[in-house]
Amino acid sequence: MVSVLNKENVWELLESIPDPEIPVISIVDLGIIRSVDISDQKTLVTITPTYSGCPAMFEIESQIKEVLSNAGIGNLELKTVLAPAWTTDWINAEAKKKLEEYGIAPPKPGIFSEDTLVACPFCKSENTSVTSVFGSTPCKALFYCNSCEQPFEHFKCH
Amino acid sequence: MNKQEALFDYLVRLGDTSLIAGQRLSEWCGHGPILEEDIALTNISLDLIGQARQFLTYAGEVEGRGRDEDALAYHRDVWEFKNVKLIEQPNGDFAQTILKQYFLSTFNCLLYGALSHSKDETLAAIAAKSLKEVLYHKRHSAEWLKRLGDGTAESKQRMEFALEELWTYTGELFEMTEVDKVLVEEGIACDLNELYMRWLNEVEEIFEEATLDMPKDVFMASGSRKGLHTEHLGFILAEMQFLPRAYPDAKW
């Protein structure tokens, strides 16, 4: 079957793929899809890893291949680039809101920026403390809210 | 030595140091003093192994003999490994692990900061990416170093013991060889003598906060640039390489 999908269609399909660790946001929301190019019936999807050792990258790549080939794209190339390095600044405002509603305090701009002043995603109090800067996935830190006495995760600034 | 040979050796040095440091840290999995530290040390291990994969993959491409990251990680013997001896030392207690991590992470922050301006685009990209990760590693070990050094009598005594054990291995981080000379001239690698002064200043500052005394002039171990290691590396490789050597076609 010859693909008749255009660039926008491919982006829409990619938006339907949830992040394997944080399914409330898509891999497009996360900012790891850098570009989609279609030429001579070949589809080139360029991605960048979040963390060098993130084990979810393998899963994400196989998801992309599965979703796009099910949509009829036979001639697909996945390319990984390292520069510019992935940053949480690429997570858009809407996705940050989704993270907060899911119970994960979203990242602020820049690395380390004010990340001790993280508001609790449940009660919005800023009276919180860091339990550990390393959490259940490479991209998250563990926090504790001193107001509502709930532990919560923070998507680290990166 | 031409540029290609030098770059291969240099990338193997960076890759091996990250790989063996990551492998060592993974030994803490299930043995951390508290759950959060178990998770932290294994997270750092994961970052380091991820960085090692990038360096070794690129090393294989530069070499051009068809070796990939796995061939380099699993099918070389001790004398072909170029990691510094510091990170092949046994984990010891938590204080020793933290001090080792602090020395390495502080070095890595300076090194990757410099290499992110390398004229070799791929090396610059790997360095810029890794820098973000090692900044977190340094912060983690620096906080523990201060807490343990300026902590209880026992934590301080353990930190002082760790320092006696490990300081001798820090000199190697900054040793420059023909490889460095060739690559510094090409604008690919950085001058490690410059990094040494900055590293030493940072260590002095943090030791003051941790109420630890800087070690006096002591013998500095050497040899890893030539593939000479302590006995510990062989044991690490025996464990790390067993499966792919015994079952070469094994698939995950």
Pick from B48, B125, B136: CB nearest A83: B125
Give the gyration radius of chain A's Cα atoms.
17
Is A54 touching B (CB cutoff 8 A)? yes
Chain B residue numbers touching A53 (CB-CB < 8 A): 22, 46-51, 53
User: Which A residues 105-124 touch B at CB under 8 Å?
Assistant: 111-112
Tell me which residues of chain B have a C-beta less than 8 Å from any C-beta of chain A. 22, 36-37, 39-40, 43-44, 46-51, 53-54, 121-122, 124-126, 128-130, 132-133, 135-136, 139-140
Nearest neighbour of B132 by CB, restricted to A132, A136, A158: A158
Q: What percent of chain A is predicted at pLDDT more than 70? A: 94
Q: How far is B48 from chain A (nearest CA, A)?
A: 7
pLDDT at position A115 is 57
Query: Which pair of tokens denotes residue B166?
Result: 């490990």
Minimal-distance CA residue of chain A relative to B51: A52
What is the CB neighbour count within 10 angstroms for residue A71?
A: 16
Please report the pLDDT score of residue A5 as a whole number. Answer: 85
Q: Please enumerate in sequence order all residues whose Cβ is within 8 A of that of B216, keeping only pairs 6 or more positions apart, or say none.
A: none
Q: Where are the domains of chain B?
A: 3-246
Q: Which of A5-9, A31-35, A139-143 is modeled with the greatest confidence? A: A31-35
Q: How distant, in Å, are the alpha carbons of A87, B12, B223 from that of B5?
A: 33, 11, 19
- Taking one residue from A and the other from B, the number of pairs with CB-CB distance under 8 angstroms is 73
pLDDT, position B235: 98
Residue A2, pLDDT above cutoff 60: no
> Is A85 in CB contact (< 8 Å) with chain B?
yes
Say yes or no for a CB contact (<8 Å) between B54 and A52: yes
Instruction: HSE, CB side, 13 Å, CA atoms: give it for residue B7.
Output: 23
Interface predicted TM-score (ipTM) over 0.90? no
Nearest CA in chain A to B48: A53
Contacts B50 to A, Cβ<8 Å: 49, 51-54
Q: How far is B101 from chain A (nearest CA, A)?
A: 15
**In angstroms, what separates the C-alpha of A93 from chain B's closest C-alpha?**
22
Q: What is the mean pLDDT of chain A?
A: 90
Report pLDDT for A138.
86
- pLDDT tens digits, A101-111: 999 999 987 66
CA distances in angstroms from B170 to A3, B6, B211, listed in the order given: 57, 23, 20
Structure tokens at B121: 């685009």
- Mean pLDDT along residues A70-80: 94
Confidence at residue A111, expressed as pLDDT on a 0 to 100 scale: 63
Q: Which of A85, A131, A136 sits opposite B132 (nearest CB)?
A: A85
In the predicted structure, residue A116 carries a pLDDT above the cut 80: no
Give the tens place of pLDDT for each residue, B64-78: 999 999 999 999 999
Residue of B nearest to A132 (CA): B36
Supply angle C-alpha A28, A30, A32, rounded to 5: 70
pLDDT at A113 over 60: no
Buried b (16+ CB within 10 A) or exposed e, B113-136: bbbbebebebbbbbbbbbbbbbbb
CB contact under 8 A, A134 and B44: yes
Average pLDDT over every residue of A110-132: 82
Q: Given a cut of 80, is residue A3 above it in pLDDT?
A: no
Hey, what are B198's tokens? 């900055």
Using the beta-carbon criterion (under 8 Å), do B47 and A82 form an inter-chain contact? Answer: no
- How far is Cα B189 from Cα A1, in angstroms, rounded to an integer? 49
Whether the CB-CB separation of B162 and B225 falls below 8 Å is answered with no
With 70 as the cut, is the pLDDT of residue A24 above it? yes
User: Measured between beta carbons, which residues in chain B are less than 8 angstroms from residue A81?
Assistant: 125
Output the pLDDT for position B251: 84
Rounded Cα gap, residues B6 and B118, in angstroms: 14
Helices (H) and strands (E) in chain A, counts: 3, 7
- pLDDT beneath 70, residues of chain B: none
Cα separations (Å) of A72 from A39, A43, A66, B161? 16, 11, 10, 63
Write down the pLDDT at residue B45.
97
Q: pLDDT value at position B59?
A: 98
The separation between CA A17 and the C-alpha centre of its own chain, rounded to angstroms, equals 11
CA A96 to chain centre: 10
pLDDT reported for residue A112: 66
Q: Which of B40, B47, B132 sits opposite A53 (nearest CB)?
A: B47
CA–CA dist B133, B190 (Å, integer): 20
Q: What is the model's pLDDT at position B250? A: 87
| pTM (predicted TM-score) | 0.94
Tell me which amino acid residue B99 is. L
* Homologous superfamily (CATH) for B3-246: Ferritin, core subunit, four-helix bundle (1.20.1260.10)
